[in-house]
Amino acid sequence: MTLNRRTFLAGAAAGVAFSQALPGVTTAVIGTGNRGTYLLRGVIEQPGARVAALCDIKPDRLDKAATIATRDNPATYTDWRRIIDRKDVDAVFIGTPPYLHSEMAIAALQAGKHVYCEKPIGVNAVQVRALVEAARTSKTVFVPGQQLRSLRQVGEAVRRIRQGVIGEVIMVKAQREASADLPHDGTSGDWYFDVTKSGGYLIEQSVHNLDLCNWVVGAHPVRACGFGGTLMYKNDPPGRTIFDCGSLSYEYPKGVTMSFTQSVFHPSSMPNGNQYVYVFGTKGGVDLMANTMAYPAEAGTKPYPLAAKQEEPPYAHLTAFYDAITKKGSLPADITVGATAALTAILGHEAMTRERVMTWSELGVDL
């Protein structure tokens, strides 16, 4: 028999008893679309975590999420403020469209709740600045969803690069290419193509890739320039305001440069698509994103694995969030990481839309 929100109500009393008896971190999830559902499944996997409440404005999503969390019999809401008002909620996960992230995270922090906020933490510098101020004055845990920071193999490779194994890092070359636009009639189609809500592909998606570049360089860029546009999907869907491609150059301290490209029309059968982050040093290079292989500059020297292949727990970033709450564990990413990643993407977006060199200081956020 298929179990849904309605068919399990008969067992609600038992579910309530179980939920009340379960110790740990009482958790709520705001936004139960694709990303929010992923987060919800991760929460359920955490020992001691209990899903007390769910929120979404779409009934079908909310019903599906409640079914997934049947064990905890969570309350459901369409107004996210109802969750913030609940005194029993310890931690809040925010998986809504990006333009809502900052406002919701600030409200949760000010209410004394621990916050896991999906990336990007804001779609413009004003939103990022406000959240930085709130997180830094809060005594609770804040984790941005920059989940590449929790990859063990990548983390080991970054550590070795920053120790100098390929010499001094002088350049990074990265891309994020897709073979098609996001589905125009998909579950995110009602907001994604509005740049004020998603930030566009660079801010909403490539914030992961740009964060990895910042991590390996060990700094944020000081300026950026580039060009972007809508070349394939012109006014498709109607009213579209996000780019479908872009090419950027970033400059970091000490003259380190980074080249980044993105498009959504790279044929899947054509080589060199998808994503990569190539790190170039004075003694060689590293394919950081695919396999962490190192390629020495010296002729005749064979490539070698910079970091051993490791088991990567699927919800490591969420586990670190709960460990920080319950065990005072260290964070793989904090407000500074989240803000720096978002602002790097915002800097590139502003450079493309204004068609001029943009400096980091113009963003007006003190990190």
| Co-location of 233 and 343 in the same domain | yes
| Co-location of 61 and 202 in the same domain | no
Indicate whether 69 pLDDT > 70. Answer: yes
Domain coverage including residue 108? 9-148
| Co-location of 69 and 159 in the same domain | no
Last residue of a domain, one of 90, 120, 148: 148
* Domain count for the chain: 2
Paired strand residues for 10: none
Indicate whether 13 pLDDT > 90. Answer: no
Q: Give the pLDDT mean for 182-197.
A: 96
Q: How many other C-beta atoms can be found within 10 angstroms of the C-beta atom of residue 17?
A: 11
User: Are the C-beta atoms of 30 and 83 separated by less than 8 Å?
Assistant: yes
| Co-location of 237 and 132 in the same domain | no
User: Are the C-beta atoms of 229 and 243 separated by less than 8 Å?
Assistant: yes
Q: Give the pLDDT mean for 260-278.
A: 96
User: Are the C-beta atoms of 304 and 293 separated by less than 8 Å?
Assistant: yes
| Co-location of 79 and 134 in the same domain | yes
Last residue of a domain, one of 148, 166, 181: 148
pLDDT for the residue 23: 54
| Co-location of 174 and 285 in the same domain | yes
Indicate whether 2 pLDDT > 70. Answer: no
Q: Give the pLDDT mean for 214-231.
A: 98
| Co-location of 219 and 133 in the same domain | no
Q: What percent of the chain has pLDDT over 70?
A: 94
Environment class of residue 24 by beta-carbon count within 10 Å: exposed (0-12), middle (13-18) or buried (19+)? middle
Q: How many other C-beta atoms can be found within 10 angstroms of the C-beta atom of residue 12?
A: 11
Query: Backbone phi, then psi, for 251, in 5-degree steps?
Result: -115, 130
User: Are the C-beta atoms of 74 and 88 separated by less than 8 Å?
Assistant: no
Environment class of residue 98 by beta-carbon count within 10 Å: exposed (0-12), middle (13-18) or buried (19+)? buried
Q: How far apart are CA 295 and CA 49, in angstroms?
A: 43
User: Are the C-beta atoms of 211 and 336 separated by less than 8 Å?
Assistant: no
- Strand pairing of 275-281 and 223-229? unpaired
Give the neighbor-by-neighbor strand order of the sheet with 49-55.
75-77, 49-55, 25-30, 91-94, 114-117, 142-144
| Co-location of 180 and 291 in the same domain | yes
| Co-location of 139 and 263 in the same domain | no
